[in-house]
Each structure stands twice: as structure tokens, then as C-alpha cells.
Amino acid sequence: MKANTETRPLYPQRPMGKWHNRRVAFSTAIIALLFVVPFIRIDGQQLVLLNVLERKFIIFGVFIGPQDYWLFGLSMLSFFVFIVLFTTVFGRLWCGWACPQTVFMEMVFRKIEYAIEGDAGKQKLLDKAPWTSDKILKKGLKYTLFLIVSFAIANLLLAYVLGVDELYKIISEPIQDHIGLFSGIIIFTAIFYWNFAWLREQACTVVCPYGRLQSVLLDRNSINVAYDYERGEPRGKLHKGTHRPEGDCVNCFQCVSVCPTGIDIRNGTQMECVNCTACIDACDTIMDKVGFDKGLIRYTSENAIVKKTTKVITPRTWGYAAVLVLLWSALGFVVATRTDTQTTLFRAPGSRYIENADGTVSNLYTFKIFNKTNKTIVPSISLDAPHGKLLFAGSPDLTLEAAGMSEGTVFVIIQKSELKSRKTVLKLSVSQGNQRLESFETTFIAPEE
């Protein structure tokens, strides 16, 4: 049978060296963190929850519900500006070190592949070889492990999106009770499997929008994995014992062989480069062997190569930093002044005041109370000033489920003697037990004296 090599266009060599060891340690910590965080709870709720379906988020214990549009908008804007600032200064550090796609691809899936099929040369030979029992065993084992890891990642994703409790229910209760969510796990397992087994580096080079933004975000001072062409060019093979007029690049192509996205870093900064550092290690090994200084490929900037300057902070960086400080200040203010509930209370449309026989005046209002927390609240509304009373229509149950809402109508009844003008500002509050959750105002209309 003819082997299909179309699905594996790239066979990067196994990376090894100082930078790779650092990345292994960092990636191990990231993977451990990713799997541990959903199980950490603060005050009974998950430390991080990203329920995009219901627009409920918990970021380090701060619940952001559908009503927190200010908080949500400012958080998103701050996150976006932070990404821009970070990328302008540090280039694609995120891609190489912390992006889950790179971390799982390079540190889990590719490690499995190297362990079972061997290095790049052996993988290529195996793909071209006929389907012997050895090949079936190796491929079967590899793809089974890929499937198991994809299943684990799909569960991890749902632990962040739906929460660990919901995920536990799907696992522990009969499948037919959660057929939709169980199908979700299977679909995500298939997507991750397809991504890591076939799509691979194309997720970064073709699909990821962040990679495509690089040309806009990077400038000549951004730090990136870069080839020092001032030192390396003109490149040429090394001939021992002869004078070398060329630069330090000995044209060994080791930097190209290890590149998981298949590019040649010597062609300059490219959108496909995920800053994985594999070419730094490969080139340093060669430099060591030929007796040249290491660092022909290194973390550096275009200006550092050409002008030998190490300036990182530019006016553009200061500008982004200033915007970020403003946004974070606004975010801090919104978080500090945030209340657990948000109540709207307006006079019922078309209604007028009612003069009662007992010398009181009534106004009819409709109200809505939104719960901005992730816990059940049993609120009560009270009139703080002026003196008067509230009469709810139909004794409604105001209990608010997590991120829920309750509504109703209420008469506000006030003695005429308390009303000094046609329009009076009412001060009201929402409490739970003795705890005041929110204060707000509305207007009350009375007849002209």
C-alpha cells in the first residue's frame, strides 16, 4: 500500500539545547496550571470560568455577568491593549512560550511522536514504508495516545467554559440526561485531534489572527528570535584551515531543519515564526562545533542588529502604556464601586399620581433587580427617604438566582405632609438581611399645592 505523506508535509528535527530545556520546564508548569486552575475555588466559586455561551465569567474570583457590560467591555479593551503593548515590546513571546496551541503541540503531541516514531529522518522513512505490523503498531499507538490527550483537552476546555461541577455531572450521570453536552465533548475531542494530528503548525500560520497581526504590531525595536545577518552574511560553507572571508553562517541549514513551521529564519522576521527558539539552540550547537561565538540567532531586535542599540521602550510603547494605565484605572474604579445588584425602578408608563382618602399620595412603579453575583440573593427593597411605605403588587418572590433577574410592580405611598414640591427625589435601597447591597434614587410625582 502506498503511504500517504501528504498529511505530514513537515518533519522538524527534534529540538534540544538550553532554550528548549527552559521551554520544557515552563510548558510543564503551564500545563499543570491549566489542569489545576479549574479545581481552585474562592468563596465556593471557581477561580476562573469563561462561560462565553451565557456571558458569565469569573476572573480570579471576580464574577462578570451579563449585566456587567462596563466591566466586560473595559476588561476586553484592557486585554487587547495589553496584547498590543506586550507584542510591541516582546514580539511573539506568548506564541513560543505560553500559547496552549504551541505548548500542547510541541511539548505533548510532538514528544509522543518523537518517542514512538523517532526523529525527523525516521518519521519520514516510516511514512514512506509499506504498512508492516511494526508501522501499524507505531501509528496505532501514536494516534491512540493523540486521541486520549485530545479527549483530556476537550474536557479541560469544558471545565473552563461550563465549570467543573457541570462537567462532573456529564461524566457521572446517565449520558442521555446530557446528550447535548456529551456530544460537545466528542466534537471538541475530534477538533483537537484533527488540529494536533493534521493541522499542526497551520493553526499558527494560517488560522490564528494574532500571527497575522504581527506586521502591524512589531516595530524595529521589538524583541524577537532573529538571525544576525550583519554577523552571518555572506554565508558560506566552512573549509577548515583556509581563510574565511564570509560571515559566521556556515550554511548548514540546521536552523531550517528544526523549525516546526518550516521557515528559514535567515530570510528575516516572518509571520510564520512562532518564536519557539528551536533555531537558536540548533545554531548555537553549530557555532560551538565550528568555534564561533554563540548567538548568531538569538532574542534581539532589528535595531540591535543594525544600530547595535538595545533600546526597547519607544514613544509608541509609552503611548500604549499610558492608555493601558488609564484603562486599568477605569477598571479598578468600576470593580471598587460595583454593587451586588443592579436595580431599575421607573414610574409605570402612562400612570399618574393617586390621591388617597387617608391623605397619602401613591405612585406606581415597575422594577427589575439583576443579580450581579454568582450566588442566590434574597433581596428586599426599602424606602429610605422620605418617610413612606411600599406596597408590592401580588407579593412577588424576589429571590434572585445566580446572575438572575426578578421584576414586579410596586406602589410607593407617602403622606402629603412629607411632600414639599410636585417632584420629590426618593432614596431607596436593596438589602439582603442587614446587608445593604445597593442604593438608588427615583422621582415621585405629587399634585401641585
Q: How far is the CB of 20 from ligand SF4 (least distance, A)?
A: 10
Q: Is 103 in the site for ligand SF4 (CB under 6 A)?
A: no
Q: Is 283 in the site for ligand SF4 (CB under 6 A)?
A: yes
- Pick the stretch among 2-10, 107-115, 279-287, 398-406 that binds ligand SF4 (CB under 6 A): 279-287
Q: Which three cell numbers stand for residue 336?
A: 471598587
Q: Is 259 in the site for ligand SF4 (CB under 6 A)?
A: yes
Q: Which of 58, 105, 297, 345 binds ligand SF4 (CB under 6 A)?
A: 297
Q: How far is the CB of 248 from ligand SF4 (least distance, A)?
A: 7
End-to-end CA distance of the chain: 100
Q: Is 258 in the site for ligand SF4 (CB under 6 A)?
A: yes
Type of residue numbered 216: V
Q: Which of 103, 153, 282, 419 binds ligand SF4 (CB under 6 A)?
A: 282
Q: How far is the CB of 294 from ligand SF4 (least distance, A)?
A: 10
- Pick the stretch among 26-34, 185-193, 227-235, 324-332 that binds ligand SF4 (CB under 6 A): 227-235
Q: How far is the CB of 201 from ligand SF4 (least distance, A)?
A: 8
CA distance readout (Å), 182 to 34, 39, 144, 319: 21, 20, 20, 47
Neighbours of 423 (CB within 10 A): 10
Q: How are beta strands 389-392 and 360-371 bridged, if at all?
A: unpaired
Question: x/- contact string, 9-48, with ligand SF4 (CB under 6 A)?
Answer: ----------------------------------------
Please confirm whether the linkage preceding 130 is cis (ω < 30° from 0). Answer: no
- Pick the stretch among 64-72, 144-152, 261-269, 364-372 that binds ligand SF4 (CB under 6 A): 261-269
Over the range 243-264, which residues count as b (16 or more CB within 10 Å of their CB) and which as e?
eeeebbbbebebbbbbbbbebe
Of 223 and 250, CB closest to ligand SF4: 250
- Pick the stretch among 33-41, 71-79, 278-286, 364-372 that binds ligand SF4 (CB under 6 A): 278-286
DSSP count for the chain of H helices, then E strands: 17, 15
Q: Is 419 in the site for ligand SF4 (CB under 6 A)?
A: no
DSSP secondary structure letters along 47-101: SEEEETTTTEEEETTEEE-TT-HHHHHHHHHHHHHHHHHHHHHHTTHHHHHT-HH
Of 287 and 364, CB closest to ligand SF4: 287
Q: Is 279 in the site for ligand SF4 (CB under 6 A)?
A: yes
Q: Which three cell numbers stand for residue 52?
A: 462565553
Q: How far is the CB of 223 from ligand SF4 (least distance, A)?
A: 12
> Across the chain, which distance is largest between two alpha carbons, in Å?
115
Q: How far is the CB of 255 from ligand SF4 (least distance, A)?
A: 3
Question: x/- contact string, 235-254, with ligand SF4 (CB under 6 A)?
Answer: x-------------xxxxxx
Residue pair 386/426 in contact by the 8 Å Cβ criterion: yes
Q: Which of 81, 278, 304, 403 binds ligand SF4 (CB under 6 A)?
A: 278
Q: Is 273 in the site for ligand SF4 (CB under 6 A)?
A: yes
Neighbours of 285 (CB within 10 A): 16
Q: Is 286 in the site for ligand SF4 (CB under 6 A)?
A: yes
Distance CA 405, CA 369 (A): 6
Residue pair 426/333 in contact by the 8 Å Cβ criterion: no
Among 383, 394, 393, 359, smallest CA distance to 444 is for 383
Q: How far is the CB of 127 from ligand SF4 (least distance, A)?
A: 22
Distance CA 330, CA 74 (A): 8
Which helix (H) or strand (E) segment holds residue 361: the answer is: strand 360-371
Q: Is 226 in the site for ligand SF4 (CB under 6 A)?
A: no
Helices (H), 118-163: 120-128, 133-161
Among 146, 114, 116, smallest CA distance to 134 is for 116
Name the site residues for ligand SF4 (rule: CB under 6 A): 225, 227, 232, 235, 249-255, 258-261, 263, 265-266, 273-279, 282-283, 286, 296-297
